[in-house]
Amino acid sequence: MTDVFIITGESSGELYGALLARALRSLKDDIHICGVGGERMMAEGVELIAGITGAFGLIEAVSSIKTLRDVFSRITERLEQDRPAVVVLIDFPDFNLKVAQKAKSLGIKVLYYVSPQVWAWRRKRIRKIKALSDRIAVVLPFEEKIYREAGADCEFVGHPIMEEIENTKGSKGFIRERLGLWSDREVLALLPGSRKHELKRLMPLFISVVQRFKRDHPNFQYILPMAQNLSEVDFQEWSGVLEGFGVKFVRGMATEVLSASDLALIASGTSTLQAALCNVPMVVVYKLFPLTYFVGRMLVNVKYISLVNLLMDREVVRELIQYKATTENVVRELERIINDDQVRKYMTESFREIRSFYEGRRASRRVAEMIGEMSGWLSGQ
């Protein structure tokens, strides 16, 4: 019999699901957790009815209506059969809101964890999310006010990435050696994203940047942590060239890689916050298909795309988007960080301020407590 059902559709959410499962077991060791996720959730004892890694990738299956329908059907069947106390939805809104609707129709409580970015676009979704969620746990400080003003039961819980960072032990040199790097040579981390379409748009740029940067900085080391939902096969088109330039590939381990790095080139996404919390100066890039970018410009209502700049409401790190994401511009910005002490100081001081938002908060533990309160086995709501 399932007590809690966790659903996520991408790599970062799968990590949060795994950490949440661990926190739930620390509070209630006989709890049975079922869901949709990946290897890390399975390692924490979650019974998976569908996976997001390997041959079955939910995030890649967005274009496959048949696959999504099949997963939704399996989820529905299990919810009807087990009637868990709580369904936990982690991001992946278009799919998860349909699950929320089904759960509510069955009288199952819904907790939305890492809610959709309603502050960026489709703000009217707040009403739907509020109606379908008994409680909402957000990971960005400014989100709590947005949801509460709409009347939702919402709480800022911190960010699970902080737990990963605090659990990474050892000096920078020690972590480098553990990753197979020289302990006394500087490191440039390469994080091109966790989706296959991001790789197609960004990997040629990353290759060109490494090739150019390497000419003037021969002693730098390069490392690329592949997202957990991706494999060597997804990188085979570019890995030979990059390995020829001395780039080391590792599976997952983004927190360790950033903890070992002096500088980072990052695709816009959660990794920008991860780098800031690891105190790593960065350049942020992103490219979309031209039509997608054109439509997005009309729909998205934000000044910045990186979480670092959004949290500080000012430009802390340089964002090179679409046609500005060129080899020349990226290398110029990397050089600016290396050569200008004031630029580095401004970034790292801002990163410390961002870190202060999250220190002392244990997101996974708090969300587990919220689930316990909703289920009735922990005193609270």
Residue 59: which CATH number? 3.40.50.2000
Q: What percent of the chain has pLDDT over 70?
A: 91
Domain assignment of residue 332, yes or no? yes
Domain assignment of residue 243, yes or no? yes
CA separation for the pair 61, 52 (Å, rounded): 9
Domain assignment of residue 380, yes or no? no
pLDDT of residue 26: 97
> CB of 189 within 8 A of CB of 223?
yes
Domain assignment of residue 381, yes or no? no
pLDDT of residue 343: 98
Average pLDDT on 198-213 reads 96
pLDDT of residue 293: 54
The encoded tokens of residue 287 equal: 């490219």
Same domain, 87 and 44: yes
| Of 44, 53, 46, nearest in space to 5 by CA | 46
pLDDT of residue 62: 41
| No. of helices (H) and no. of strands (E), the chain | 17, 13
> Tens of pLDDT along 18-62?
999 999 999 999 999 999 998 899 999 999 998 875 433 344 444
> CB of 190 within 8 A of CB of 265?
yes
Lowest mean per-residue pLDDT among 149-163, 252-266, 281-295: 281-295
Q: Is it the case that residue 93 has pLDDT exceeding 80? A: yes
> CB of 129 within 8 A of CB of 118?
yes
Query: What are the Cα distances from residue 92, in Å, to 7, 14, 97, 249, 276?
Result: 9, 11, 8, 27, 24
CA separation for the pair 68, 63 (Å, rounded): 9
Q: Is it the case that residue 204 has pLDDT exceeding 60? A: yes
Average pLDDT on 336-346 reads 98
Same domain, 150 and 170: no
Domain that holds residue 109: 4-158+361-375
Domain assignment of residue 52, yes or no? yes
> Tens of pLDDT along 296-317?
555 566 789 899 999 999 999 9
Same domain, 135 and 177: no
- Tell me how long the chain is: 381
| Of 181, 252, 325, nearest in space to 15 by CA | 252
